[in-house]
Structure 1
Amino acid sequence: MEIILIFIQKAIGQSTSILLGATGEIITEKSGNLNLGVPGIMYMSGIAGLMGAFFYEKAAVDPSGFIGLIVSMLTAMFAAAIGGGIYGFLTISLRANQNVVGLALTTFGVGFGNFFGGSISKLAGGVGQISVATTAAAYRATIPGLSELPVIGRLFFSYGFLTYLAIALAIYLTFFLSRTRKGLNLRSIGESPATADAAGINVRLYKYLATVFGSVISGLGGLYFVMEYLGGTWTNNGFGDRGWLAIALVILALWRPVNAIWGSFLFGSLFILYIYLPGLTRATQELVKMLPYVVTILVLVITSRRNNLESQPPGSLGNPYFREER
């Protein structure tokens, strides 16, 4: 029983950054933009949040964890918004190839994170000496009282606020996309921007807002991984493939944020399964580690064979739009 509880807790911890990355990308793709720069944005947001917390704690005489949390969130969201804005300008205004821009943004973001992560380590006195313990503790704070309940408390109330924010965002954005006028406008742009434009919807504005807002949500996944999951530390290339799994999860979730909740838990479970399976040799451990990527391939194959409209990506996904070409 104990090992199952630990496994579920760790799987939820792994899944939160993937859920946030996927939720943000779903919003972006609903506008017709395919942003493969999500992994890079997560790196940029994670290191920006860590830098904000580090310099705040270094400058403050008596640093407050709550203020450090606000500072790190603002710097992380700003970095993600800049990344999304650059992607939007190049693909929406200049009509650059979305795949190329996204991959370039990922390459830049990973390099950006690794460079400044090393720089902060040197400022802090050497690799592994980064300390933003006060801010990290605020991110990791659990719900008082409820988290101390046996079993239920550990399963449902023993996580930091970003975990609950990720779930709340996925649920709200599902409602937004299906039940609000602005959400339906966004979906119509993703399906046929020319038709939406003819109906008087500001296609460019919606695309920019969806891309930047989606990037900010994805960036929170990077902030979560650095500040809550790793406890305010930085490791170069420490994100692994979580950003790419978030993009794959968009397809598994059928472009519905609420589906990304259980999908992210599936990916999070598979990501750490090799640790909890007894009797594995080193060779079989490597085989089990492949499961998230095998599932990704299967999802792509199964989705491509579905014929119903609800299981398909937005009709204009990946295609630039200029109203002069209507």
Structure 2
Amino acid sequence: FGDFIRKIQDNVSNIHKARISVHCHNDLGLAVANSLTAVTAGARQIETCMNGIGERAGNASLEEVVMAIKTRPDYFHLSTNIDSTQIHRTSRLVSQLTGMSVQPNKAIVGVNAFRHQSGIHQHGITKMRQTYEIIDPADIGLPHGTTLVLNKNSGRHGLKSRLDDLGYEITTAELDRVFVAFKDLADKKGEIDDRDLDALVSGERRAVEEVYKLDLLQVSCGNQAIPTATVRIIDREGRPAETTSTGTGPVDAAYRAINGLIGVPNQLLEYTVNSVTEGIDAQGEVTVRVEAHDRTFVGRSADTDIVVASAKALMNALNRAIAQAPREPQEAWSNP
């Protein structure tokens, strides 16, 4: 690929008047490598995407290209005008808005990128960070030091301080709502780490005007039982509606009940579950993509109960669909 760029430089008349740009895809896992090779051959514009998202296998990863050039100025003899300290928070924001999770071992922005579990690695890091870290975490906006662990005894000040460290700028009203969710989660799982806080804040910011709100979800299932879900929702006027449905599993039963109550024709295109943290008490973050009114809507929610998170994620997606497709008010109904 570098030879190709060099041939353009050598054979195209007046090429010095143009800026050569490259747009590489990652079908063979070489998008970043090809982009950087093109730079050494004379390209001065690289088209990238945060977290490497894009068609098929994705585009060249912005964070990898930027940090490669920043880390090896002795080789590239170039710089970018990118503020690399915004990389970490931007990566999280893109992941939250698109519903595309970042793989844990993703270079630069993966959750494991600056984690060290091996004893010899930990010893080396304490002696000299550069032994195993070619990049300073602060260069991508990761705060130094041990992660502050919050729990049910933590107050608003401790929560606000940690959110500030993570780069969140939230209003007093947003903090009030996040703090309520934080205390509720802390009662369920004890210790809260940064990934839990990401899920709480993103959940608050993803909130849309709720035409329908989940009020009750009760499921029963087992290897000798028919999965059954009872769902009660409340509309914006405060009127409740309740129904019970069966399905192939507790999530399917809950979805059938919700769809029956809300009455928005839709097709579930994607359903994914990711553990926000480790452990038996971890939050599960559910992302759904549904097609309604010839458009795709994403819903996300996190909870220590996967079925509850699943139901809230679907409600989130359907509320978005309703909000963006104005129509006559529709009564919720319940089975007799």
Which TM-score tier does this pair reach, normalised by the shorter chain? under 0.3
Greater relative contact order, per chain length (Cα 8 Å cut-off, separation 6+): 1
More helix by share: 1
Q: Whose radius of gyration is greater, 1 or 2? A: 2
TM-score normalised per structure 2: 0.24
Q: Which has the higher strand share?
A: 2
